[in-house]
Structure 1
Amino acid sequence: MTSLQHPSTKEDILRYLLKQGEATAQVLADQLGVSSQAIRRHLKDLELDGLIEHRAIQEGMGRPNYVYQLSRKGRDHFPDQYDEFALSLLDTLAETVGQEQVGTILRKQWTRKAKDYRQQVGSGSLEERVSRLVELRKNEGYMAEWHRLEPEDQPGASPRFVIAEYNCAISHIAESFPTVCGHELEMFEVALPDCSVTRTHWLANGEHRCGYMIEPKQ
């Protein structure tokens, strides 16, 4: 494949698009410190490989600008611990015992995983526990990160945290069994029992990341 000729810059492009959702060639050049000419060559190669796609946006009377984003194949390029065998197994189970029974099995599996998260996250400040939870997600194939949100105009208020996941390690499973996304939200609530967890972004809704707001319970 042509994308193997310059793996570092091309990987940087793919990772940037994974995190930001989309970008123009000029933005990529500025952010990655690469010439516009070189970036356009890499983009052409990546598009030929089917890893990215573009759409044209018209700004003013000049030539249209092109905005690039990952294709489905591009998203599949990133680590995925839950492979096609897992999805095939679930499909077979659904055909054998029924969709409802598979849902019960998945809930039991995620309940077990939630308890494991709770144990590994342990105790400590909320910031420490959020950091440990994100590390666990990274080890499972998610491109996860967290941010602290300082309270505005509320002296003494507890900080909030946002967890962002740009790569879903169970995306193929979630497409066929969307209830697993709800189980993931429940896992975070079990891992952080003194917090409320709400979803802010969702890959399944076409957004470029999954996002969760972590807030201490009042």
Structure 2
Amino acid sequence: MMTTTQQPSTKEDILQYLLKQGLATAQELAEVLDISPQAIRRHLKDLEAEELIRHKAVQAGMGRPQHQYELTHKGKDFFPNQYDDFAVSLLGTLAETMGEDQMTSILRKQWERKAIHYRDRLGNQPLSERVAGLVKLRQAEGYMAEVHRVEPEGSNSGDCFLLTEHNCAISTVAESFPSVCGHELEMFEAILPDCTVERTYWMIDGEHRCGYLITLQSSKVRSVL
């Protein structure tokens, strides 16, 4: 949590914007948050001193390099995170004791149970209501999730939504065991059996967010877990 007490809401707005966008200049932040460039630079200086953000120089044309700001690991930890190093240690012990294959089976079973829980909560509503409900469930678990309707590709596709998660509530686990992300994709497919679910962004690949393209397919028949 931030130690500074000066205008914490503005500083939190800066952190949230950087979490969503990945990078931003001081000028961009000033415009988005509607405060003066001088004030935004004071906030940025404070946040850098607290090691919540860092900057890097990026050459833009023939002018002077621009400073672009991004979150540090400490800055990302400012946001809710339900899992800690104990989970990684426990999974490591399981892998050593039971073997990778059995541990993978255990992880898959966990995601299957969570998928059933989600399905029970979301019911058989229209897709727009199900994805909105899914976002609320993910937010309650510590994910900074949001969803937007997008234009589908292809004439055979129905409704299409992009589910974005700007942080990962299990990032510590995912860094050590990337296979959990594969099970997460399988979980979304099980929750939405009448849809095609594709991963479009992945933090493990260096992106600053995870994204899933959810497309309703009229040819798919609902199945029961």
State whether TM-score is above 0.5: yes
Which position in structure 2 is the counterpart of 1:48? 49
Establish whether residue 27 from structure 1 lines up as the match of residue 25 from structure 2: no
Equivalence map 1:99-118=2 (5 Å): 99-118=100-119
Taking every aligned residue pair, what percent have the same amino acid on both sides? 63
- Whole-angstrom CA distance in 1 between matches of 2:4 and 2:207: 26
Q: Structure 1, residues 38-97: CA drift from partner, whole Å, max 9, x if none? A: 111111111111111111012234322100011111112110112222222212222322
Asked if 1:209 corresponds to 2:171, the answer is no
Does 164-173 or 46-55 show the bigger shift? 46-55
Q: Partner of 1:15 in structure 2?
A: 16
Partner of 1:180: 180
* Structure 2 residues without counterparts, runs of 5 or longer: 220-225
Contact 2:162 2:211 in 1 (8 A): yes
CA positional deviation for 1:2: 5.1
Name the counterpart of 1:161: 161
Contact 1:144 1:163 in 2 (8 A): yes
SS state at 1:43 partner: helix
Say if 1:152 and 1:171 are closer, same or farther in 2 by CA, change over 3 A: closer
Could you tell me which amino acid in structure 2 is paired with residue 167 of structure 1?
N
Name stretches of at least 5 consecutive residues in structure 1 with no aligned partner. Answer: none
TM-score by length of 1: 0.93
Deviates more, 1:143-152 or 1:65-74: 143-152
Structure 1 residue aligned with 2:72 = 71
Q: Tell whether the 8 Å contact from 2:157 to 2:216 is kept in structure 1 after alignment.
A: no
Distance 1:162 1:53, change over 3 A: same
Deviation at 1:121, TM superposition (A): 1.2
Correspondence for 1:195: 195
Aligned residues: 217
The structure 1 segments of at least 4 consecutive aligned residues displaced by more than 4 Å after TM superposition are: 151-154
Amino acid aligned to 2:9: S
For the residue of structure 2 that corresponds to 1:159, the secondary structure is: strand
Q: How far apart are the structure 2 equivalents of 1:149 and 1:34?
A: 32
**Is the partner of 2:4 in helix, strand or coil?**
helix
Post-superposition CA distance 1:106-136 (Å, at most 9, x none): 1111111111111111111110111111111
Secondary structure of residue in 2 paired with 1:56: strand
Equivalent position amino acid for 1:147 in 2: H
Distance change in 2, residues 1:136/1:111 (3 Å): same
* Structure-2 separation of matches of 1:85 and 1:176: 12
Aligned-partner Cα distance in 2 for 1:105–1:178? 15
Matching of residues 111-126 of structure 1 within 5 Å = 111-126=112-127
- Worse-superposed segment, 57-66 or 47-56: 57-66
> Deviation at 1:216?
1.2
Q: Alpha carbons of 1:206 and 1:4: their partners in 2 closer, same or farther (altered >3 Å)?
A: farther
